[in-house]
Amino acid sequence: MDVNALRELAIAATEQALRAQYDVVPGEDSDEWEAEYRRQFARLREQHNVDFRAAAPPPAASPAADDGQWPELSGTLEERRWGAAIRAARFAEIPVPAVRHFLVQTWPRAKQWIDTREVPTPVLLQRLKPRYDEYRRQLAERARARKEAAAAKAAALAAHQQRLAEAGITPEGLVELIDASERAPLAPLGEKLAEISLGPRHLRVFATADPNVLLVKEKTDRGQQDYGIERDEGLVADLKLYGEAP
């Protein structure tokens, strides 16, 4: 098993473990996700007896950016300087990167930091806890939505590839049929049927206003050319199926 496969297993195991622990799964930029991911990676590495002596140590899938280079606050020049100093002092008292990231995202104005400068950090964090919890919930929802969308797209792509395989449709076969087709005069552009990339060749195939002609726009490293080919309904059906890729 290579490092990429092990990472995928660790990510899946992390999601499963966190779902069992939390009502709302922590986002991938959270300390909880990071810690659980590293536990799962180490466990799976030992379980599968994988040796990565030559590989770099595994990074988290989506580590939170927390290198101290925070975005500039808004306000007057004096407010920005004062607010940045207060923010830096605050962050020195906040050890959790996810909390610092939350404050960077939700407190972009220097005046927010200046107006709360006298409030002790623990008190300030307690006041902000409801907003922080909601922020984390929204992050988790967005992460879950992204994963669901990616999974749906992957499933649709796999189903499309299966249909192409069952029909015996390949980019090579389509380009071969186009090349073998009789040339025809150009006609006004219609709907796009498919887009095919094969090595240095990139072909876009369109129906035209002439029911007997297809238009091919082909681009290669030598430039672009447009040409017509005689319409064949079998080729059109294959192109349409190929062009349905999600």
Sequence ranges of the domains in the chain: 3-47, 77-164, 171-242
pLDDT at 58: 43
pLDDT at 128: 93
pLDDT at 64: 37
Averaged pLDDT, 151-163: 91
Hunting for tokens 């990429």 — which residue is that?
A: 4
pLDDT in tens, 220-241: 988 999 999 999 999 999 999 9
pLDDT in tens, 74-102: 999 999 999 999 999 999 999 889 899 99
CA distance 149 to 145: 6
Averaged pLDDT, 206-216: 96
pLDDT at 218: 96
CA distance 193 to 190: 9
pLDDT at 29: 63
pTM (whole model) above 0.85: no
pLDDT at 3: 60
Query: Of residues 181 and 245, which shows the higher confidence score?
Result: 181
Query: Of residues 146 and 229, which shows the higher confidence score?
Result: 229
CA distance 243 to 43: 44
Say how many C-beta atoms besides its own lie within 10 A of residue 110's C-beta. Answer: 24
pLDDT in tens, 94-139: 988 989 999 999 999 999 999 999 999 999 999 999 999 999 999 8
pLDDT in tens, 47-84: 767 655 444 444 443 333 455 578 999 999 999 999 99
Quote the mean pLDDT of the chain: 85
pLDDT at 134: 94
| % of the chain with per-residue pLDDT over 90 | 61
pLDDT at 42: 83
Judged against a pLDDT cut of 90, whether residue 25 lies above it is answered with: no
Measure Cα distances from 230 to 189, 212, 235 in Å: 14, 6, 10
Measure Cα distances from 207 to 99, 119, 169, 170, 173 in Å: 56, 69, 19, 20, 19
Query: Of residues 177 and 58, which shows the higher confidence score?
Result: 177
pLDDT at 239: 96
pLDDT at 63: 35
Say how many C-beta atoms besides its own lie within 10 A of residue 15's C-beta. Answer: 19
pLDDT at 2: 57
